[in-house]
Chains A and B, each alone.
Chain A
Amino acid sequence: MSAPLPNRNVHRFAVFTAACTFLLLIAGALVTSNDAGLAVPDWPLSYGSLTPPMVGGIFYEHGHRMVATFVGLLSIGLAIWLWRVERRPWLRWLGLSALGVVIGQGILGGMTVLFFLPPAVSSAHAALAQIFFCTVVSIALFTSSWWERTRPSATDFGSPRIHSLAAAVVAATFVQLILGAAFRHKGFGIIPHLAGAAVVTVLVFALARALRRRFAGVPILQSASRMLHVLIGTQLLLGGAAWWSRVYAAPFPQPIPVMVSLTVIHTVMGALVLASTVLLTLACHRIVLRSGAHEQAVERSSQPSRPRHASL
């Protein structure tokens, strides 16, 4: 019996939600880089209104809230739609989880305002944003026709397993984003973030190398290997540029466009790196069999009548 066709519309909606979430990340980064985090002193309303005058820092802070509200509404729609049409229970629950995360994000955002930007809360707000983005991106992948039709087509005989290596890259990248957020929100100095960059770079290069060597006949994994190099190289350059821009902008009385641009681009590029590594990890789980699983599959398929426990 063939698998049912994927619901292309829910996939498109998930992709749209992910794209809007990316715009929300940009909006959030603009708030921090423009030093507008407390331009609106009240929450959930803005100056007691849903439509305050969009001047000065209010433009960035309230603009961020507006985009966040829109993404929240999209998340509600996505969760409902998945619940109604999706045949995989775990994916229905994932849609609900994404909704829970975005509600938590809203609450954390309110706390940053009401408690005057405590570094821990602001950093948690930034970290949860990444989790939400990766969740929505994952939903987009799981609802895609590629995911539905793809079956394992390669075996991993290397060590560490590609799945473990990819997961380690995701974990390290996530920690690195937290360290970056803590730096931007004045919780840490730059040193932990630099140390994290070194760790992520080493792991990304190791993953790219493993993909290139172990899966030469799998085009999508070869492309992923090249993409990893491009992403990490770009992000390292952006990090250096962002740091330079902060030093250059320090004597100015207000955030200057070059500093705002470079720090925002570096921040959202970090989100793209994380999301890409999450997608790659999921793709590896879909495409690549572990060597032990492969051998079991071969043994089962070659001797179907042999009893499970052979007699001595």
Chain B
Amino acid sequence: MKSGNTLLLVAGALLVLGLLGCGRREEISEAPSEGPPPANPAAKPVDPATAGAISGFVKLEGTPPRMRSINMAAVPSCAKIHSTPPMTEDVVPGDNGTLQNVVVYLQGDFSQYSFPAVTTPVTIDQKGCLYVPRVVALTTGTPLRIHNSDSATHNTHPLTRNNSEWNETQAVGSPPMERLFARPEVAITLKCNLHPWMTAHVAVFSHPYFQVTGQHGSFDLKHVPPGTYTVTAWHERYGTREQTVTLGPKGEEKISITYKAGSE
């Protein structure tokens, strides 16, 4: 076989190998079916006589990373709101070495239990061209209410994997909009495509055992039925940490979850 043809053949083979794609960067699920999973008809409420609690703190070891300033110069209506440039909020330390904006939740089998629907909306505001608060958590039946308190148009685009995707605009003075997420997902990133620095995260659950840590870096999950659970902490930069907890009848377990700065 002539060397020139060999060259073409080798090149073609390499191209095919490359096209096979050594792994996708993101696994994109099939479009989810609409509606939450069907409820178990035999489900019963959690018995308060045996329910317990799992509580604790989320700590951050080491020096928190330097946050960067957000440049809003391209959007004067946003820039003028801030006397100094706002800082990023992907790592927000709490009191006493704790970490804020961590979603702490239980993983376990709750299919035998029914939970009262939470219809009071969880609210995110677009204020100062930032999402406030940055991290929220809600159940599948709870509306997410999005306000626009700015004198700028925003659009909200959730980057979903298990839920329907949408991209809605709110002009200045628009009324709040409400959206439901039908399926559990940890966590959905909200983006504003007009203002690329705007980011929020929404964690969606089918049960009520979740909390987002605040200033004190603490969580307190109440009315938990006896059983063995995986307590999972999710942070937008540091990822997830898990601990197994066994809760007896009327038990109270205190745990501590630790992230290390620089471990992302």
Q: When each residue 1-16 of chain B gets 1 if its CB lies under 8 Å from chain A and 0 otherwise, what string results?
A: 0101101100110110
Pick the residue among A36, A189, A199, A252 that contacts B21 (CB under 8 A).
Answer: A189
Number of interface residues of B (CB under 8 A): 45
**In the complex, what's the smallest C-beta–C-beta distance from A256 to chain B, in angstroms?**
8
Separation of A58 and B194 alpha carbons in the complex (Å):
6
B25 contacts A189, CB within 8 Å? Answer: yes
- Chain B stretch 161-198: residues in CB contact (< 8 A) with chain A: 165-169, 191, 193-197
Q: When each residue 26-51 of chain B gets 1 if its CB lies under 8 Å from chain A and 0 otherwise, what string results?
A: 10100000000000000000000000
A254 contacts B70, CB within 8 Å? Answer: yes
Which B-chain residue is minimally distant from A183 (CB atoms)? Answer: B25
Question: Is B23's CB within 8 Å of the partner chain A?
Answer: yes
A160 contacts B5, CB within 8 Å? Answer: yes
A189 contacts which chain B residues (CB < 8 A)? 21-25
Which B-chain residue is minimally distant from A187 (CB atoms)? Answer: B24
Which B-chain residue is minimally distant from A41 (CB atoms)? Answer: B167
A116 contacts B22, CB within 8 Å? Answer: no
Separation of A172 and B88 alpha carbons in the complex (Å):
42
Separation of A191 and B28 alpha carbons in the complex (Å):
18
Separation of A113 and B59 alpha carbons in the complex (Å):
41
Q: When each residue 225-257 of chain A gets 1 if its CB lies under 8 Å from chain B and 0 otherwise, what string results?
A: 000000000000000000000000001111100
A254 contacts B197, CB within 8 Å? Answer: yes
B17 contacts A195, CB within 8 Å? Answer: yes
**In the complex, what's the smallest C-beta–C-beta distance from B244 to chain A, in angstroms?**
33
Separation of A192 and B23 alpha carbons in the complex (Å):
9
Question: Is B223's CB within 8 Å of the partner chain A?
Answer: no
Question: Is A26's CB within 8 Å of the partner chain B?
Answer: no
B5 contacts A57, CB within 8 Å? Answer: no
**In the complex, what's the smallest C-beta–C-beta distance from B234 to chain A, in angstroms?**
19
A190 contacts which chain B residues (CB < 8 A)? 25
| Known A159-B5, A188-B25: A55·B77 in contact at CB below 8 Å | yes
Question: Is A206's CB within 8 Å of the partner chain B?
Answer: yes
A188 contacts B8, CB within 8 Å? Answer: no
A39 contacts B11, CB within 8 Å? Answer: no
B15 contacts which chain A residues (CB < 8 A)? 172, 175, 195-196, 199
Pick the residue among B20, B68, B157, B199 that contacts A116 (CB under 8 A).
Answer: B157
Question: Is A164's CB within 8 Å of the partner chain B?
Answer: yes
B17 contacts which chain A residues (CB < 8 A)? 195
A194 contacts which chain B residues (CB < 8 A)? 18
B8 contacts A38, CB within 8 Å? Answer: no
B157 contacts which chain A residues (CB < 8 A)? 38, 41, 116
Q: When each residue 117-152 of chain B gets 1 if its CB lies under 8 Å from chain A and 0 otherwise, what string results?
A: 000000000000000000000000000000000001
Question: Is B155's CB within 8 Å of the partner chain A?
Answer: yes
Question: Is A294's CB within 8 Å of the partner chain B?
Answer: no
Question: Is A56's CB within 8 Å of the partner chain B?
Answer: yes
A186 contacts which chain B residues (CB < 8 A)? 25-26
B22 contacts A55, CB within 8 Å? Answer: no
B26 contacts which chain A residues (CB < 8 A)? 186
Separation of A34 and B71 alpha carbons in the complex (Å):
13
Separation of A36 and B191 alpha carbons in the complex (Å):
11
**In the complex, what's the smallest C-beta–C-beta distance from B245 to chain A, in angstroms?**
34
A188 contacts B21, CB within 8 Å? Answer: yes
Pick the residue among A35, A47, A254 that contacts B71 (CB under 8 A).
Answer: A254
Question: Is A103's CB within 8 Å of the partner chain B?
Answer: no
Separation of A239 and B155 alpha carbons in the complex (Å):
32
**In the complex, what's the smallest C-beta–C-beta distance from B236 to chain A, in angstroms?**
12
Separation of A139 and B77 alpha carbons in the complex (Å):
46
A253 contacts B197, CB within 8 Å? Answer: yes
Separation of A82 and B64 alpha carbons in the complex (Å):
65
B194 contacts which chain A residues (CB < 8 A)? 36, 39, 55-58
**In the complex, what's the smallest C-beta–C-beta distance from B3 to chain A, in angstroms?**
8
A175 contacts B19, CB within 8 Å? Answer: yes
B20 contacts which chain A residues (CB < 8 A)? 192
Which B-chain residue is minimally distant from A36 (CB atoms)? Answer: B193
Q: A159-B4, A175-B19, A253-B199 are in contact. List 5 more A-B contacts (CB 8 A).
A: A34-B196, A39-B155, A55-B75, A160-B8, A202-B11
List the 4 closest pairs (A to B, CB-CB), nearest first: A195-B18, A56-B194, A191-B22, A160-B4
